[in-house]
Amino acid sequence: MLSICILGCKPNVAKSYIDKNIPEHPKSEIKVLNEKLFKALKDNNKQEVTKLFSTGLIKVMNIKLDSFIYIAHHNIVETNSFSVTKEFYIVNSTDYTSNTIFSGLTGEYEYTFHYLAINKEMYITMIVPDTEPDQMLITCIYGKYPEGWKINIIQLGLYQIRHKNAIDLYKEAQIKYEKGYIVDAGNSLFILQSCLYPANDLMHYNLEGKIKDFYESVQTESKQKYVFPYELKAIKSKPMITNISSKILYEGDYPLVEYLTQIQLTDTTNLRKENDEIQKLIGGIYRGIDKEKKFLFYRAWNKIPDGKTQLPTYEFKKQLN
């Protein structure tokens, strides 16, 4: 995730307009600029991108500009369209002042923007390219200069994982936890961390504090309840479960059970027999891990990985009912 901004501060009284309440003139002007920005990033065209940036932003980005354009281009190159999920038009009483903008106060999906308003007229636009399976967010904060609108702040981050944002994933984790599926809840909370800050420090969900508290609580409970490595004494070969994480595929994410086996990975016949026994026990050890999902994955090791050396593995894919 990349974050670019310019710093400063002044007292301010601001009027803000959201979405349909925005006057037509600035709204139509920004629409044209968004389209130009999207095309320039898709085409990996540095010259056209910088035409939209303020002088201050170009100066601040400096050597980061090439990498920003490359990352944005890489993420949108396969799509020709985007949507604007939210936009704000702000009229300040002065320039170089601190702005705090609320998308709303009471809804679960609401968030806050806090940034430096360089100009008296500012415009925030949140661009979501139509990509699959995940969606990025390009957040632009425009300022109105004598020569027209220029981008003062631009940020790029992961917004949705398979069309679910951080709040969607948080609510899913709550449902899993209420069912007693602690491992599943923990995995969902871990995954949502990657899209919790789609505009880096510029944007914060109102539920951010509750999400963090819930994540820490589930982690603590999981560590107390499930200790790794865990030896499966009921199985003659005594495999040891070393970790449970997520295997992320195009169509979704699924639990991945990693375990240490004494059977050589080349002995696939006995390795499969052992895995069949593990599959029979796994749901009784980790509640919910084999429920309400299409697949469950297993990864066998002959040595516990140290994170430095790549070791051979053997994987099993279990289709669930």
Structure tokens at 107: 């809804």
pLDDT in tens, 4-60: 444 444 556 679 999 999 999 999 999 999 999 999 999 999 999 999 999 999 999
Q: Give the whole-angstrom CA distance, residue 287 versus residue 319.
A: 17
In which element (H, E) is residue 215 found? helix 208-225
Residues 6+ apart with CB under 8 A from 21: none
A 10 A CB-CB count for 35 gives: 12
Work out the average pLDDT over 270-290.
Answer: 96
Q: Picking from 70-74, 110-114, 152-156, 304-308, which range would have the lowest pLDDT averaged per residue?
A: 304-308
Token couple for 140: 């632009």
What 3-state DSSP class applies to 36?
A: helix
CA atoms within 13 A on the CB side of 127: 27
Which residue type occupies 54? S
pLDDT at 276 over 50: yes
- The predicted pLDDT at position 5 comes to 43
Cβ proximity of 44 and 79 under 8 Å: no
Task: Provide φ and ψ at 181, rounded to 5°.
Answer: -90, 75
Query: Parallel, antiparallel, or unpaired for β 2-4 and 148-160?
Result: antiparallel
- In terms of phi and psi (left: phi > 0; alpha: psi -120 to 50; beta: otherwise), the region of 62 is left
Domain ranges of the chain: 2-160, 166-225, 230-319
How many angstroms separate the first and last alpha carbons of the chain?
Answer: 38
Determine how many CB atoms are found less than 10 A away from the CB of residue 250.
Answer: 8
Q: pLDDT digit string (tens) for 113-155?
A: 999 999 999 999 999 999 999 999 999 999 999 999 999 999 9
CA neighbours within 13 Å on the CB side: how many for 116? 15
The pLDDT of 69-81, averaged and rounded, is 95
Model confidence pLDDT, tens digit, residues 163-176: 999 999 999 999 99
What per-residue confidence (pLDDT) applies to 106? 85
Residue 6, pLDDT score: 44
Tell whether domain 2-160 is in CATH 3.30.420.
no
Among 59-63, 209-213, 217-221, the minimum mean pLDDT is found in 59-63
What's the predicted TM-score (pTM) here?
A: 0.90
Average pLDDT over residues 94-102: 91
The per-residue pLDDT for 104 is 87
